[in-house]
Chains A and B, each alone.
Chain A
Amino acid sequence: MTTHFISAEVDLHDTAEELHSAIEIELQKHGEPLRWAVTDVDVDRQKAVVEGYVLVEASPAIA
């Protein structure tokens, strides 16, 4: 098991709940979300800047 720091951009949504779900889905591409926050919003591009940690249960296979 390892913990990893992830930063990502996520499209803003109509509601904060939808944004919450979109962030979790984005972080799940890298592992299980452990802690995250929107740190800023690019209003012009309608993107939320997200930083967080994910948990990876096993080391990913090397391609």
Chain B
Amino acid sequence: MNRRPLTVVLIVPTGVGASIGGFAGDALPVARAIAQVSDTLITHPNVLNGAQLYWPIPNALYVEGYALDKFAAGCWGLQPVHQNRIGLILDAGIEPDLQLRHLQAVDAARATLGLNITDWVLTDRPLQVELRISQSGASWGTIGNPDSLLRAAEKLIKQARVEAIAVVARFPDDEGSLALENYRRGKGVDPLAGAEAVISHLVVRTFKIPCAHAPALSALPLDPHLSPRSAAEEIGYTFLPCVLAGLSKAPQFVTPTVGHASCLSQVLGGQDARTQVLGGQDARTQLLGGQDAHPTREQFYANRRDFESQDLWADRVDAVVIPATACGGSAILSLSGRSSVQIIAVGDNKTQMQATPEKLGIKALQVNSYLEAIGVLVAKRAGISPASLGADISSLRRLPD
């Protein structure tokens, strides 16, 4: 039987205090369940990474958040792989013993899982991660030496020809803080998550290859009241195994570049073209000197069709599952513009955000739980309107003459 494959995107934004998925890979059961009713599940490291724990899901694509935003905007496509050659970056700020723990975790992944991890580099300066909490309650942070991170990534790509990069940065030990205490009890916001996103976003944005991050931290004293949601991060010395497993089969990114335009909006001279502004200079002025700087719509689509024959693009997405209060991210705003995409907003995955579909004017199907969301996906796959499964079915509407 020929039918359209069901492609589902599952997003649990990182660092926003999601009650499901805001801790140690605790949205992984949701991902496993949704993958069972989907042909392809596209999700991101925050959902799938459980430090020492992970679960191989054959039909899931592990896509870093920056790339997921680009994918949702129609700028990047996803190209599945058999296996990536992975390189490792260790922050020079990590103590020698802790570096060795991470190198041994890599060796374990090579020997026990058969992953292809070939080379590692130490950054030429400590990355100097700093953590903050924003006014909204989301965690964020900065790195003091982003150039050092990018130099290390470039070295791995050019000298070792790696196809994916795992980064381990030394994060501040926050022992005794209220934020950490709450996190270990399954409450509040992951204080590390926002800064982790900055690190991986920088590498993906610059080199357009898969990247994910694991923080290096000193071991914490035993806590008898540790929440099951946070427990995966306290059963080993590193958070690295899940990152390596995810990157091993993470899809590569493809861009249908025609001239210098990688999004249709750029071709058409739309406002998105301004996303190329760097260092205060409008990239359009740089484009003018390039070849074919103003391709036609036909050229763009012809070029893109070549890529689309094998790869996955945003127009293949059928549904997005998102916490109901966290609908204000780039990916959701992009995908909500596609009439074929069903946005499913899950009410009981609470977050610190207040960006609901109603406030944003986004058309979404509101459900209470992930169990209900999975029911909606099953109905969609079967070609059944979810409304017809309820007790009350509204009357047919007559449009005005």
Contacts and interface: CB of A to CB of B under 8 A. Distances in A.
Given A7-B134, A34-B198, A34-B205, A40 B353 contact: yes
B227 interface: no
Contacts of A62: none
A3 B129 CA distance: 11
A15 B146 CA distance: 35
Nearest to B271: A21
Contact of B146 (A3, A24, A38): A3
B11 to A, nearest CB: 11
Contacts of A15: 337, 361
Contact of B361 (A4, A5, A12): A12
A16 B360 contact: yes
B326 interface: yes
Interface stretch (B41-49, B88-96, B135-143): B135-143
Interface stretch (B176-184, B275-283, B284-292, B383-391): B275-283
Contacts, number: 128
A37 B329 contact: yes
B135 A7 contact: yes
Interface residues of B, number: 49
B138 A3 contact: no
A37 B277 CA distance: 19
Contact of A51 (B138, B142, B337): B138
A3 B136 contact: no
Interface string A41-52: 101000011110
- Interface size, A (range): 35 or more
A63 interface: no
A20 B147 contact: no
22 contacts: A1-B146, A3-B143, A3-B198, A5-B132, A16-B362, A17-B333, A17-B334, A17-B337, A19-B333, A20-B337, A32-B277, A36-B330, A37-B13, A37-B355, A38-B333, A39-B328, A39-B352, A41-B354, A41-B360, A51-B135, A57-B279, A60-B280
